[in-house]
Amino acid sequence: MNYNLLIITPDQLRADYLGCYGNTQIGTTHIDKVAKEGVVFENCYCAAPLCAPSRISFATSTYVGEHNRRNYGTSINPDVPNLITQLKKSGYQTGMFGKNHLFTPHRLDEVWDWLDEICLGNYEGHPGAKQSFSSFEMEVDHPFNITKRLTDETIDFMTGAKKPFVAWVNYQDPHPAFTCPPPYYHLFSSDDITLPDAYYKYDKDKQPVRNEVWRKHSQMNQCSEEELKKAIATYMGQVRYIDDSVGQLMAALKENQLDKNTVVFFFSDHGELLGDYGMTHKLPVFYDCLTKIPTILRHPLGQWAGLRFTGLVEEVDLAPSLLSILEIPIPATMVGESLVSSLDNGDVTGKETVLCEAGAGAPTWKESGEGMVLTAPHAPTSFGPGAMLRYKMWKLTIYSDDRSELYNLEEDPQELINGYDNPAYEGIKNEMTTLLTKRLLSVKVRDVGIDWDESEYPTDVRFNPLE
């Protein structure tokens, strides 16, 4: 039997903002229902805390050091073996709705049978998007209010497909700027928001220098506690907007008798700082708020329903797992491991380590630009390279020319106490440095068809419908 595949990808969604990951404030009832009917991966890490590198790693099942797309404005040649073209070669009808951040823009029509590609960047062009922490109400009829449109188009595609389909809806929400239309904008009050300890207690002199540079570029010294609370409340509204959209997608599957033959896969490309360490957005750093991604898999026959996969999982394992469920051959270039056998056996132990990378060969920008004001972490905010290894309760991050970090996640889950220079941690630091080196040496840098013109795509903004 050829199952259909529905992939739902909100952009920049933190795992801890879903009920199935412990959040008690927002009320993500529809996503939580999918979680109850499927398996929740509690410790799945993205391959990179940036949009395009993460999505490319997901689709190709290769590490960042292999596909070598390390920053925002990158894409891959669709001839590179990947999840979508592998399904298309196997007879699947393909549809994509929302942002691309994956395939070469001028070749999208070769990949997708149905397509509405749109990326809103950071809502540049809207008068409300003035600062990195801006929050405002989105007009219902504004061209930037696209979540419902993408949901409707995905439903139309799925219900009109004449053969097995893969539908991938890539939502803008809850990506900054922090904005959503009514009623979602008014669902949560800043009065009910408590700022996290990580907003107050971080030590900037023990963090990577890039963090302080971004704080200055983004004018976080001008962000009041009330403004940040409003941004968080609006982000919560964005999450509810996504949750209701998931409810509409699942209802459409059921109403059209598609729920019993459609695999539903929900994941985010990375998280959001959202005030942690006095920052918003994301950049090439590796805190759990950015790298631990919500990941939910629902089998149409109810297999693994209610399972909590507690072990470590890497983003590169996801595409091979989906292909295994769909009984489609896994390309030899995919380096991830299918999780299906482990799921069938109830084995939730996962991997020994996870690897996460980001940033290119440019030097770390050590000083903020004079008078520099940015609404998102674009250059000259640092994109200097770094790599992170998670091993048991430990997390090590090493940068090429920035401060390194070591955290004990069991004792310090908010990653506030950098133990990299602590003599008591010398043994585990050396052990993890060796493990990280071996992981990096095990990847194979290969030419997979670079299609990136930095002058053409200097940021993660593909196009703006108002231009």
Using CA atoms, how far residue 236 sits from 25, 226, 231, in Å, is: 9, 15, 9
Q: What percent of the chain is helix, strand and coil (3-state, nearest 5)?
A: 35, 15, 50
HSE (side-chain half, CA atoms, 13 Å) at 338: 18
**Residue 179's pLDDT is what?**
98
Q: Rounded distance, CA 105 to CA 101, Å?
A: 9
**Residue 365's pLDDT is what?**
79
- pLDDT, average across residues 438-461: 52
Give pTM, 2 decimals.
0.94
- Annotate 401-414 with DSSP letters as a single string: SS--EEEETTT-TT
pLDDT in tens, 152-201: 999 999 999 999 999 999 999 999 999 999 999 999 999 999 999 999 99
First to last CA, the chain: 45
pLDDT in tens, 356-380: 999 887 778 788 777 888 999 887 7
pLDDT in tens, 426-445: 999 999 999 999 999 887 54
Query: Does an H or E element contain 399, and which?
Result: strand 394-399
| 282 contact partners, CB below 8 Å, separation of at least 6 | 12, 49, 50, 270, 271, 272, 273, 290, 377
**Residue 462's pLDDT is what?**
31
Using CA atoms, how far residue 365 sits from 280, 368, 377, 454, in Å, is: 18, 8, 12, 18
**Which CATH number is associated with domain 4-442?**
3.40.720.10
pLDDT in tens, 138-162: 999 999 999 999 999 999 999 999 9
- Annotate 268-316 with DSSP letters as a single string: -S----TTGGG--S--S---HHHHB--EEEE-TT-TTTTEEEEEEEEGG
